[in-house]
C-alpha cells in the first residue's frame, strides 16, 4: 500500500515537472522513487493487512509488487533513450508510473471493482504509449488495435462480473468464494459469468484463441513499450488471473479446467509454431511471449500449492530475459534500420558483449540449464505433473523444442554468419551495465532458484 501511494505521487510529480521545469531531474527522481517503493513494499511483508476489503497486502501481492517494481527499474534504465527523444517526456514518465499503479492494484485486489479499475488504470496509459510514435502508421495501428481489443475484453470481463454479482450479490472475492463453496444450487448465470471473465482475462494475458491482437500490437509499438507490455503488463495480468481463479473459483475447478486445458495447449502450439516462421525478431518475440503465456497457463491449470511460486518464478525469469532481449533488439534495429534476423549477422565479432548477453537471455527463454528459464519451466512442469496433467506437459515439452529452434536462429546468426560491415554498434554505458547485471541475474537465479521459490 505504501508502495502504491509512493508510485502515484511519483506520477503526479512527473506531471508537475513540466510546469515547474525540472525535467532534467525527473529521471533520477523516478529511479530513486522506485528503489524507495521497493524498500517500503518489503516492510509490509507478513503484515497481511486488508484495506477496506478492497485491497490486501498479503505475501502474494507483495512478492508480485516487488517483482513489478524491480522489472520497471530495469525497464527505466533500458528505456533511457525513449525518454530523451520525446518532446513531452514528463508526460511519458507520468503515463508509465500510472500504468505501474494499475499493475500494483491488479496484484493486490480483493474486490472485483479493484480488479476492473486496476486493469483499466494499467491499460489506458498503455494505449497512449503504444501510439507514442505519432507519425508512424504502424504505431498508430498498434495503438488502435490495442485500444479496441482492450476495451472489447473489458466488456466481456464486466459482463462476467455483473452476472456473478447477480448470482451471488457481492463483488468481494472471499464472499463470492464462500457463496460458491456453501451453496450447491447456485444460479446458472454464475457459470456464464465465470466463462465470460475467463474470456476477458485470456484476452489480457493474450492466450490463444484470444491472442491475435498481441503480435500486431507488439510489433507496431515502439520497442521499449513492447518490452513494457511483454514483461510488466503480462506479469500483472497473470497475477490477477491466477488470484481470481486460484482463490475464488478454485472450488468450481471442473467447470473451467477443461477450457483452460484446451487454451493452454492451443497457446503453446500456436505461439511456438507461428514464432518459428517469423522473419522480424520483434514479431518473433511477440509470438514467443504468447507461447510463454501458455506455459504460465499450465501452472494456473494445476491449481495447487505450487502454482503461486511457480508463476512468480516463471514471471521473474521470463521478464528479466525479455528486458535484455528487447534492449538488444532495439539497439540492433536502431543501428541497422531493420529488426529481421539477418540484422544480427556477425554481432559476436562486432559486439561480443551484446551477443553474449543475448545468448544467455535466449537460452533462458528457451529453458536450457543452467539459466533461470530452465528451472522456471521445471517448476511449472512439476506443478502441472502433480496435478495430473501429464498430457499437457508432453505438449509443452514438444512446444519448447520448437522454441529452441527459433531462439537458436538468432544465436546462429550472431555467431556463425558473416557480415560485411563489422563496425561495432554504439552502446551506452548504462545499457552495458544493465545487460551485465541481467546476465548475472539470469545465471544466479538458475543456480539458486530456491531463493524465489521459497517466498510463497
Partner 1 sequence: MSIIQTIPIEWYLFLSTVLFAIGVFGVLFRRNAIIIFMSIELMLNAVNLLLVAFSSYLSDSKGQVFVFFIMAVAAAEVAVGLAILSMVYRNTNSPDINNLNKLKW
Q: Which residues bind partner 1 (CB under 8 A)?
A: 112-113, 116-117, 120, 124, 127-128, 131, 134-135, 137-138, 140-145, 147-148, 151-152, 154-155, 158-159, 161-163, 165-166, 169-171, 189, 215-216, 219-220
Least CB distance from residue 398 to partner 1, whole Å?
23
Residue linked to cell 484495506: 51
Taking the least distance from each CB to partner 1, the nearer of 285 and 442 is: 285
Q: How far is the CB of 437 from partner 1 (least distance, A)?
A: 33
Q: What is the smallest separation between the CB atom of 270 and partner 1, expressed in angstroms? A: 13
**Residue 369 to residue 363: CA distance in whole angstroms:** 8
* Helix or strand run (H / E) with residue 49: strand 49-51
Q: How many helices (H) and strands (E) does the chain have?
A: 21, 2
Q: Strand runs (DSSP E) across 55-198, as ranges?
A: 55-57
**Closer Cβ to partner 1, 200 or 446, answer by number:** 200
Which of 63/147 has CB closer to partner 1? 147
In the complex with partner 1, the residue whose CB is nearer, 104 or 434, is: 104
Find the shortest distance in angstroms from Cβ 123 to partner 1.
8
Contact 415, 349 (CB under 8 A): no
Are the beta carbons of 102 and 121 closer than 8 angstroms? yes
117 or 195: CB nearest partner 1 = 117
Closest CA to 384 of 397, 371, 373: 397
Distances (CA, A) of 398 to 102, 273, 367, 389, 395: 36, 11, 12, 15, 5
- Show the CA angle centred on residue 305, arms to residues 301 and 311, nearest 5°: 60
HEC string of 379-427 equals: HHHHHHHHCCCHHHHHHHHHHHHHHHHHHHHHHHHHHHCCCCCCCCCCC
CB of 217 to partner 1, least distance (A): 8
Shortest CB 286 distance to partner 1, Å: 10
Instruction: Say what angle helices 59-78 and 23-43 make with each other, to 10 degrees.
Output: 160
CB of 415 to partner 1, least distance (A): 28
C-beta closer to partner 1: residue 127 or 314: 127
Q: How far is the CB of 130 from partner 1 (least distance, A)?
A: 9
Q: How far is CA 93 from CA 15, 62, 225, 233, 330, in A?
A: 8, 23, 12, 16, 19
317 versus 333: smaller Cβ distance to partner 1: 333
Distance CA 30, CA 15 (A): 12
Instruction: Identify which of residues 119 and 357 has a Cβ nearer to partner 1 in the complex.
Output: 119
| Phi and psi angles of residue 22, each rounded to the nearest 5 degrees, phi first | -120, 45
Query: How many residues comprise the chain?
Result: 456
Residue with cell 507461428: 274
**CB nearer partner 1, residue 166 or residue 391:** 166
- Give 281 or 371: the residue with its C-beta nearer to partner 1: 281
Instruction: Give residue for cell 501511494.
Output: 5
Check: CB of residue 383 under 8 Å from CB of residue 313: no
At closest approach, how far in Å is the CB of 142 from partner 1? 7
Q: How far is the CB of 204 from partner 1 (least distance, A)?
A: 15
Render 91-111 in DSSP notation, one character per residue: HHHHHHHHHHHHHHHHHHB-B
What distance in Å separates the CA atoms of residue 321 and residue 21, rounded to the nearest whole number? 36
The answer for 303, left when phi > 0, alpha when psi is -120 to 50, beta otherwise, is left
Query: Shortest distance, CB of residue 177 to partner 1, whole angstroms?
Result: 17
Shortest separation between residue 272's beta carbon and partner 1, angstroms? 16
Nearer to partner 1, 110 or 316 (CB): 110
Q: Which is nearer to partner 1, 159 or 261 (CB)?
A: 159
Q: Both ends of the chain: CA-CA distance in Å? A: 19
Amino acid at each position: 500500500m505504501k508502495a502504491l501511494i509512493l508510485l502515484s505521487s511519483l506520477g503526479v510529480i512527473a506531471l508537475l515537472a513540466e510546469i515547474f521545469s525540472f525535467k532534467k531531474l525527473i529521471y533520477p527522481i523516478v529511479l530513486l522513487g522506485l528503489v524507495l517503493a521497493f524498500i517500503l513494499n518489503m516492510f509490509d511483508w507478513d503484515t497481511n493487512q486488508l484495506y477496506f476489503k478492497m485491497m490486501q497486502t498479503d505475501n502474494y501481492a507483495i512478492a508480485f509488487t516487488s517483482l513489478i517494481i524491480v522489472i520497471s527499474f530495469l525497464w527505466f534504465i533500458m528505456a533511457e533513450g525513449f525518454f530523451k527523444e520525446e518532446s513531452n517526456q514528463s508526460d511519458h514518465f507520468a503515463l508509465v508510473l500510472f500504468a505501474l499503479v494499475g499493475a500494483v492494484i491488479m496484484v493486490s485486489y480483493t474486490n472485483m471493482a479493484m480488479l476492473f479499475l486496476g486493469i483499466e488504470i494499467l491499460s489506458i496509459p498503455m494505449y497512449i504509449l503504444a501510439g507514442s510514435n505519432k507519425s508512424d502508421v504502424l504505431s498508430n495501428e498498434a495503438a488502435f488495435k490495442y485500444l479496441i481489443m482492450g476495451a472489447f475484453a473489458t466488456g466481456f470481463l464486466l459482463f462476467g462480473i455483473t452476472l456473478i454479482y447477480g448470482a451471488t450479490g457481492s463483488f468481494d472475492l472471499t464472499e463470492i468464494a464462500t457463496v460458491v463453496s456453501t451453496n450447491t444450487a447456485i444460479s446458472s448465470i454464475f457459470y456464464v459469468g465465470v466463462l465470460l471473465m475467463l474470456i476477458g482475462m485470456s484476452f489480457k494475458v493474450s492466450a490463444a484463441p484470444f491472442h491475435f491482437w498481441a503480435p500486431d500490437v507488439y510489433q507496431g509499438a515502439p520497442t521499449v513499450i513492447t518490452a513494457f507490455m511483454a514483461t510488466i503488463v503480462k506479469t500483472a495480468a497473470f497475477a490477477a488471473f491466477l488470484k481470481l481463479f486460484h482463490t475464488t473459483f478454485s472450488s468450481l475447478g471442473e467447470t473451467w479446467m477443461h477450457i483452460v486445458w484446451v487454451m493452454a495447449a492451443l497457446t503453446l502450439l500456436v505461439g511456438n509454431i507461428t514464432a518459428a516462421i517469423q522473419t522480424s525478431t520483434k514479431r518473433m518475440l511477440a509470438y514467443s511471449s504468447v507461447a510463454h503465456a501458455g506455459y504460465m497457463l499450465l501452472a494456473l491449470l494445476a491449481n495447487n500449492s505450487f502454482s503461486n511460486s511457480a508463476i512468480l518464478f516463471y514471471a521473474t525469469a521470463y521478464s528479466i530475459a525479455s528486458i535484455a532481449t528487447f534492449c538488444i533488439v532495439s539497439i540492433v534495429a536502431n543501428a541497422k534500420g531493420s529488426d529481421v534476423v539477418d540484422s544480427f549477422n556477425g554481432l559476436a565479432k562486432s559486439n561480443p558483449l551484446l551477443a553474449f548477453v543475448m545468448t544467455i537471455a535466449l537460452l533462458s527463454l528457451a529453458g536450457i540449464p543452467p539459466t533461470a528459464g530452465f528451472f522456471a519451466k521445471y517448476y511449472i512442469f512439476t506443478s502441472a505433473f502433480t496435478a495430473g496433467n501429464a498430457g499437457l506437459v508432453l505438449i509443452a515439452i514438444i512446444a519448447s523444442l520448437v522454441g529452441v529452434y527459433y531462439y537458436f536462429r538468432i544465436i546462429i546468426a550472431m555467431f556463425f554468419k558473416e557480415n560485411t560491415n563489422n563496425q561495432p554498434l554504439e552502446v551506452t554505458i548504462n545499457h552495458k551495465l544493465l545487460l551485465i547485471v541481467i546476465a548475472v541475474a539470469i545465471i544466479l537465479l538458475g543456480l539458486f532458484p530456491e531463493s524465489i521459490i521459497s517466498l510463497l
